[in-house]
Amino acid sequence: MTESTKFEEDCMQSSPNAGFTSEDELAVFRARKVAIITGISGQDGSYLAEFLLSKGYKVHGIIRRSSSFNTARIQHLYSDPKTHEGSASFSLHYGDMTDSSCLIKLINTIQPTEIYHLAAQSHVKVSFDLPEYTAEVDAVGTLRLLDAIHACGLSNKVRFYQASTSELYGKVQEVPQKETTPFYPRSPYAVAKLYSYWIVVNYREAYKMFACNGILFNHESPRRGETFVTRKITRGVAKIALNQQQFIELGNINARRDWGHAREYVEAMWMILQHNEPDDFVIATGKFY
């Protein structure tokens, strides 16, 4: 018996809520307001954690073990005594999207009511350099989470959100894009996220899981990673003003994008999981810049 199989059996045996179908019991379970966020140390994860805490959730974040500090965006939450008191609370756990046994243990122990899956290798250019790793994390990682939910007997109890991407549209088939626009991914990252999108749909249909995709268009904030174009421009302008560099190197300057703010987009993620029925949604402003 493999370690992963043993954990799956333990989940089914030890889950205090496994097997119930009563609407009253389900309402009691969901009223606990316990959320898991993967990718919590990123731009969206940090804003989502703040938002859920303000709603009275117990927030559990999954972070990767690292020899260097990688929690700068959430350090203020972890250090604030208020996030460890009352109904709202904030906890961090080591985990990885490539480790199914770890994910099963966390889900079985925490018994979340909602899971927000934001973790990914999300840089398009890097996905060409690391295509196998990108697929392992972005595609199979989503499958591992969904399978962990199912293995722990929580398929009809947990609500699951997967952060999808406008990169699915790639070679654009129509303008503007909407939920029914055909996908045409053009990078290893986009292809991996396409698998992630469809495996969410598959588990929703096969296991009646409340699983949703949010197809996110570009969204920015001061917490955006420095390798992305908006931060590259703002940092470049600041360095030019300080005489630290002379010009900014950019790719296609004729590209037009739909830009939004991350703080608003994470609220949309939460709203998706408050619907009566699971579905997939485009999250965008509808404006191009």
- Give the residue numbers annotated as catalytic, written as ranges: 165, 167, 189
CB 41 within 8 A of CB 142: no
**Cα 235 to chain centroid, rounded:** 26
| Pick from 206, 195, 102, 197: nearest CA to 155 | 206
CB 38 within 8 A of CB 68: no
Sequence-ordered alpha helix ranges (H) in 55-169: 75-79, 100-110, 124-129, 131-134, 140-151
- CA–CA gap between residue 122 and residue 32 (Å, rounded): 31
Number of residues written out for the chain? 289
- CA–CA gap between residue 275 and residue 269 (Å, rounded): 11
Q: 2: Cβ–Cβ under 8 A, 6 or more apart, which residues?
A: none
Residue 160, amino acid: F
**Cα 190 to chain centroid, rounded:** 15
Could you give phi then psi for residue 154, rounded to 5 degrees?
-115, 15
Q: Which helix (H) or strand (E) holds 213?
A: strand 210-216
- CA–CA gap between residue 260 and residue 218 (Å, rounded): 6
Could you give phi then psi for residue 270, rounded to 5 degrees?
-65, -40
- CA–CA gap between residue 196 and residue 162 (Å, rounded): 8
CB 233 within 8 A of CB 207: no
